[in-house]
Amino acid sequence: MKKVIFDVDGVLLSEERYFDVSALTVWEWLYSPYYMGLANDSGLPLHGDDAWIAAVRDRVWAGDTLLSWLKAHGINSNWEMVHAFLITVSWLMARQFREETGHLPPLSLKNRDEVKALGSLLADRAVPGAEEILLFWESHVESQVEGAALFACLRQAAGVEAGRKLPFMNLDSPFFRMHQLAFQQWYLGDEVFPEIMHEKVYGAPKEGVLQKENPLGDAGDIRNMLQQLRTAGFSLGIATGRGEKEVEIPFRFFGWYDELDPLYIATASDAEAVSSQYGNIPLGKPSPFLYLCAAYGKKPEKYEEYITRGRIQDNDEIYVIGDSYSDVLGARAAGARFIGVLTGLTGKAAAAMFEKEKEAYSENVLTAVREHILKRD
């Protein structure tokens, strides 16, 4: 079998809107009365135009410094990036509260009322800045730690300081689900959100960014590329940290969806659903699970094999095209051949990482396919 598996963000679609939404989710969580309602001393409001979104993102992610650090540790999902930020801020502020009062605030955080209650207790305190957040991460996460193990490090560090377990830091916690829904509402918008997520809208009105997605190349050229691969005998797959509909909707808009078989479109929705059936083990990137689903199909009878001992078969020629270290790790774990592109968060700077990892790379997805797979000038 010959197959090409594509990541989506940073390969086929720009990551910029996703990173914008991650910042907006954090901003709303910290400062909106619908969540923590903390004091906002930034001078930036809760809603605004594109310039406001850029300012919020710069403030939250410190010029993408924090995003780059998480990416370098194999964190590919924006939901997980938001989680890393919010659990760290929540703990740092709770720790400050204990220093001032002698006891910790309630940290169950199983519902919005408990999030608001924590915000009320912490309302007069400054929100930790990027330097303090990064210091906590670097102090407790060793350089070789990757993927879900990062959260285990943060959870253990905070738990030791707290003197007890802090379940809200878990990736399968109600806390995670709450900010995941907030993220989805920002991304999908109020009109689409209830249909896809089967939840009521919450908080201030949101337009969504589904219609503002940007392809990383001419959409027609990318469709032609997919067709050329199929003509050359390659089947196609997708392995992404996006949810199912966040792939389907823009892919249909750009004319790509009909070139793919949904059985081989593996998304964060699949990882989340299957994880819940197997003890909530992490199956998102850099786990090989999504790559194996994209290679051999989303077949429930195969899931246990994918999870426990799955690898690309030796006689199969399977390529993964990705933009990040997480993609390198996932492709390597699955036994696939990897090709990097320089259209992700760090742009051309990713070349140094690909060279260090001894992986092939190209300027963008079109040149990657042409130079390394179809081998055309």
Mean of the pLDDT values across residues 187-192? 93
Give the rounded percent of residues in the chain with a pLDDT score beyond 90. 87
13, β-bridge pairs: 9, 215
* Residue 144 DSSP code: T
For 199, the token pair is: 């939840």
Enumerate the CATH 3.40.50.1000 domain ranges in the chain, comma separated.
Answer: 2-14+214-373
Mean of the pLDDT values across residues 362-367? 98
Task: Residue 151: count other Cβ atoms within 10 Å of its Cβ.
Answer: 21
Residue 42's pLDDT band (cuts 50, 70, 90): confident
pLDDT of residue 376: 61
Q: In what order do the strands lie in the sheet with 317-322?
A: 265-266, 235-239, 2-6, 317-322, 337-341, 360-362
pLDDT digits (tens, 9 = 90+) for 204-213: 999 998 878 9
Sign of CA pseudo-dihedral 41, 120, 104, 181 = negative
pLDDT > 70? residue 61: yes
In our burial notation (b when 16+ CB lie closer than 10 A, e otherwise), range 161-184 reads eeeeebbbbbbebbbbebbbbbbb
From the list 267, 288, 235, 221, the residue with the least C-alpha distance to 4 is 235
CA–CA distance, 274 with 278 (Å, rounded to integer): 7
CA–CA distance, 286 with 369 (Å, rounded to integer): 22
pLDDT, averaged across the chain:
94
215, β-bridge pairs: 13
- Asked if 243 contacts 184 with a C-beta cutoff of 8 angstroms, the reply is yes
CA–CA distance, 71 with 73 (Å, rounded to integer): 5
* Residue 163 DSSP code: T
Residue 377's pLDDT band (cuts 50, 70, 90): very low
pLDDT of residue 98: 97
Span between the terminal Cα atoms of the chain, in Å: 24
CA–CA distance, 146 with 9 (Å, rounded to integer): 19
pLDDT of residue 76: 83
pLDDT of residue 48: 76
pLDDT digits (tens, 9 = 90+) for 84-108: 999 999 999 999 999 999 999 999 9
Alpha helix stretches (DSSP H) within 189-312: 193-197, 219-231, 244-254, 268-275, 289-296, 303-308
pLDDT of residue 314: 87
Half-sphere exposure of 234 (CA within 13 A, CB side): 20
pLDDT of residue 194: 95
What is the Rg, in whole angstroms, of the alpha carbon atoms belonging to the chain?
21
pLDDT digits (tens, 9 = 90+) for 282-314: 899 899 999 999 999 999 999 999 999 889 998
From the list 75, 12, 73, the residue with the least C-alpha distance to 343 is 12
- Asked if 53 contacts 26 with a C-beta cutoff of 8 angstroms, the reply is no
Q: Candidates 3.40.718.10, 3.40.50.1000, 3.50.50.60, 3.40.50.300; correct CATH number of 2-14+214-373?
A: 3.40.50.1000
Identify the residue with better confidence: 136 or 346.
136
Give the rounded percent of residues in the chain with a pLDDT score beyond 70. 99
Mean of the pLDDT values across residues 335-360? 96
Residue 359's pLDDT band (cuts 50, 70, 90): very high
pLDDT > 80? residue 23: yes
CA–CA distance, 201 with 153 (Å, rounded to integer): 33
